[in-house]
Amino acid sequence: MIYPIFVYGQPVLRKVASNITPDYKGLDALIEDMYQTMYKAEGIGLAAPQIGLPIRLFVVDGSPLAEDHPELENFKKVFINAKIIERNDTLELESEGCLSLPKLNEEVSRPTAIRIQYQDENFNSYDEKYEGFAARVLQHEYDHIEGKLFIDYLSPLRRRLLKSKLTSITKGDVDIIYRIKTI
């Protein structure tokens, strides 16, 4: 099943999401549907709040970008109950987009490496370090389960300049290939 993607203005995108347990109903189907929804929208990451569910779950598949970012080869994973516990001090500026902010690409400054603890779809626990674009993708998706969006990192001036674009997104007034959910 392909879900509509909740876009900027939807309150669920601003909630701190809750942990889930292995008895979460329909989890396998949900994960599969999230992948299908993400592929349909040509994204490389999708977090549960983006389909209206305030739970700590996101999926990534960076393989479409592996040519430019070798660290994304085989970077297809499910992250449940994730917690970023370390970020390095080196920041890097790079362009980001988001399925919940269609047609908006902005330079975002983020730490270049992180350490993250999470569980996979079978609730096996991991404690791993990531760097490069993988670290960026994970920080972006992690922000979604913390109720944050990449525009939060822009300067007040830059956000003011984007105001009319953001208003259009909130109203669903954007020409895109995937189905969205607006107010």
Report in angstroms how near the CB of residue 25 gets to Zn ion at its nearest. 25
Q: Which is nearer to Zn ion, 27 or 98 (CB)?
A: 98
112-142 b/e (C-beta count within 10 Å ≥ 16 → b)? bbbebebbebeeeeeeeebeebbbbbbbbbb
CB of 122 to Zn ion, least distance (A): 25
The amino acid at 15: K
CB atoms < 10 A from the CB of 156, how many? Answer: 7
Size of the site for Zn ion (CB under 5 A): 1
Using rule CB under 5 A, residue 98 touches Zn ion: yes
138 part of the interface to Zn ion, by CB under 5 A: no
The answer to whether the CB of 151 falls within 8 A of the CB of 169 is no
Q: Which span (24-32, 90-98, 112-120, 129-137) binds Zn ion, by CB under 5 A? A: 90-98
55 is a contact residue toward Zn ion (CB under 5 A): no
Q: Token digits for 110?
A: 């983020």
Q: Which residues are catalytic?
A: 141
Tell me the CA distances in angstroms from 107 to 53, 60, 126, 158, one per residue in order.
Answer: 27, 20, 30, 11
Smallest gap from Cβ 100 to Zn ion, in A, equals 5
Residue 21 beta carbon to Zn ion: minimum distance, rounded to whole angstroms: 25
Stretch that binds Zn ion, among 77-85, 95-103, 130-138, 163-171 (CB under 5 A): 95-103
Instruction: Note the residues at the interface with Zn ion (CB under 5 A).
Output: 98
